[in-house]
Amino acid sequence: MSALSDVLPGVPLVESPLFTAFVDDLQLSAEERRVALDLHDRGFAVIDFEDDLLEERIDRIKAFVASRFELDFSDPQSVKGSGHRLQDAWVYCDDIRAIACNQAVLELLGKLYGRRAFPFQTLNFPVGTAQPLHSDSIHFSSIPERFMCGVWLAMEDVHADAGPLTYLPGSHKWPILSNAMIGRQGFDAPRDRAQQPFEAAWEALVEHSGAEQEVFLARKGQALIWSANLLHGGAVVNDPRRTRWSQVTHFYFDDCIYYTPSFSDEALGLLDLRTTLDVSTEARKPSLYFGQPVASREPTAAKTSVVTKIRKRLKRPRGLPADFDADTYHRLNPDVSAARLDAAAHYLTHGKAEGRRYRLRSG
């Protein structure tokens, strides 16, 4: 690696303003170079997903995810809307986890960003989301910034009427919006208002940029890598009877602070730090700043929830483990969360007998 690529170690290699000056020194293959230049210039790149077992994995994942929803594709009303998504199902499905931990993808991202990549979240979709254009940078960001990316895998050929993935090329180079920029305090903001406060700013930037939205009519087995600040979303689903099977994996990189900007006020040092797991190891990834752990400062809402948890623990049902936490149980059992079932009641009546997990593995 050239000395020039070391000048800005707090910037991902592929996002560096000096990238084109040192890309020839990175010893990339022709295909890696194409991906790198696409990410640098356009904010996304299309790759063929390397997995000899991909066809079988997709079949098993479809069956697993479909069992979590009651979908009748002959009835458009049963699949209308964007609520059909399964978060962090890697906990129960080894195939979802294998796709998230794909070694070829991890090695490629490590080369392009200059730090080791690790998956921290999965989302699985049977249909299109019709989600408006947005940037992931307000949901999960890092310090140094931009050490986050997403990989979207098509699990079938995507039809234009199925609500394909959309994106705005070059928007990753726009300023990353913050609460300070839109005149909002975020640390004590309502937890159900993460994205909506930023939408007017994104809409104005899009309208006045002249940039044109593109649609990704993916083939089965193609994947799209996108940068942290790329505006992307889902096109309108013109035919609700059509599926759009896909998996999103979100990645962070080593030696960063991991936090949620929409609920943070960076200027005051008030960061909504994330509890981050490395999916490949199930170990917690602590937030680090130059190798030093960063302590969490909880917002008022979080402090209140701690008091509530103490009160609930004092009234803990008989047979419930002392370290049982409802939020963790819902995270590790996404089907319970999706069905909006009471965590403690489900564990006592079903989860305990089924051997379901209610706490994170240490590590």
Which helix (H) or strand (E) element contains residue 300? helix 300-314
Higher pLDDT, 2 or 115: 115
Choose among 173, 128, 119, 111: nearest CA to 146: 173
Check residue 307 and give its pLDDT.
39
pLDDT in tens, 124-149: 999 998 889 999 999 999 999 999 99
pLDDT at 48: 98
Query: Which of 255, 257, 317 has its CA nearest to residue 116?
Result: 255
> How many other CB atoms are found less than 10 A from the CB of residue 279?
21
Q: Are 143 and 121 in contact (CB under 8 A)?
A: no
**CATH number for domain 4-293, candidates 1.10.150.120, 2.60.120.620, 2.60.40.10, 3.40.50.300:** 2.60.120.620
Indicate the Cα dihedral angle 199, 200, 203, 208, nearest 10°.
-150
The pLDDT assigned to 265 comes to 94
Q: Which two tokens stand for residue 167?
A: 């994106």
Q: With cut-offs at 50, 70 and 90, classify the pLDDT of residue 352.
A: confident
Buried b (16+ CB within 10 A) or exposed e, 228-237: bbbbbbbbeb
Tell me the backbone φ, ψ of residue 150, rounded to 5 degrees.
-125, 155
Q: What tens digit of pLDDT does each residue of 77-109 get?
A: 555 544 578 889 998 899 999 999 999 999 999
What pLDDT, on a 0 to 100 scale, did the predictor assign at position 1? 47
Average pLDDT over residues 274-296: 91
SS3 of the chain: helix, strand, coil, percent, to 5? 35, 20, 45
Report the pLDDT value the prediction gives residue 304, as an integer from 0 to 100. 47
Backbone angles phi, psi at 60, to 5 degrees: -70, -40
Q: Residue 174 and residue 326: Cα distance in Å, rounded?
A: 39
Q: What residue segments make up the domains of the chain, in order of their start?
A: 4-293, 316-354
Amino acid found at 285: K
Q: What's the pLDDT score for residue 299?
A: 52
Smallest CA-to-CA distance from 282 within 341, 315, 328 is with 328
**How confident is the model over 55-75, as a mean pLDDT?**
82
Above 60 in pLDDT, residue 284?
yes
- Nearest CA to 359 out of 118, 91, 87, 65 is that of 91
- Return d(Cα 363, Cα 102) in angstroms, integer: 21
How do residues 238-272 score in pLDDT, each as one tens digit?
998 899 999 999 999 999 999 999 999 999 999 99
Of the pLDDT bands very low, low, confident and very high (cuts 50, 70, 90), residue 290 is very high
**What percent of the chain shows pLDDT beyond 70?**
88
Measured from the Cβ of residue 206, the count of other Cβ atoms closer than 10 Å reads 17
Other Cβ atoms closer than 10 A to 8: 16
Mean predicted confidence (pLDDT) in 187-208: 90
In the predicted structure, residue 345 carries a pLDDT above the cut 80: no
For the cut 70, the answer to whether the pLDDT of residue 181 exceeds it is yes
Q: Dihedral of the CA atoms 231, 236, 239, 244 (nearest 10)?
A: 10
Classify the phi-psi angles of 290: left when phi > 0, otherwise alpha if psi is within -120 to 50, otherwise beta: left
